[in-house]
Amino acid sequence: MIEYDLDEARGILHVRPAEPLEQSDFWKLSGVVDPFLAREGDLTGLIVEARNFPGWASFGAMVAHVRFVRDHHRHIKKIAVVTDSALGDLAEHLISHFVSAEIRHFEPKDIGVARQWILT
């Protein structure tokens, strides 16, 4: 399950994966993000806030995640990975090879700094 909110005024999607990700999570995200992209063209940024990556509930969920990234990454300028997990540093360096967005890792106490970074 992914909790999310879209700050339409600033163009920031904030996602909080809380449980193993479901296929339907990405359908719901697309239902919110796609109309925004049709109107505005791009997201200013994406904040992924998670203590750790909860994994996927199924192979279909993993495929839906990959498709979501493939279909949307060119429309996101910055990605802030907010976690105290060591995976945050790995994500910053590894994922940057697969997406066009600028990626940066932030500690949970710095969520406000992450949001500010996206806006600059």
Two tokens, residue 43: 């997201």
- Name residue 7's beta-bridge partners: 12
- As a whole number of angstroms, the distance between CA 111 and CA 48 comes to 10
The dihedral built from the CA positions of residue 12, 17, 23 and 28, taken in this order, carries a sign that is negative
- As a whole number of angstroms, the distance between CA 92 and CA 13 comes to 18
Number of structural domains (the chain) is 1
- Residue 83 is classified by DSSP as -
Question: What's the whole-model pTM score?
Answer: 0.88
Q: Are 87 and 48 in contact (CB under 8 A)?
A: no
How much is the average pLDDT of 19-36? 95
Range of the domain at 93: 2-119
pLDDT digits (tens, 9 = 90+) for 48-87: 998 877 889 999 999 998 899 889 989 999 999 898 866 6
pLDDT digits (tens, 9 = 90+) for 3-24: 999 999 999 999 999 899 999 9
Neighbours of 119 (CB within 10 A): 12
Each as own residue / partner, the long-range contacts of residues 1-5 (CB below 8 Å, 24 or more positions apart, any chain) are 1/25, 2/28, 2/29, 4/28, 4/29, 4/32
What amino acid occupies position 16? Answer: R
Whether the pLDDT of residue 102 is over 60: the answer is: yes
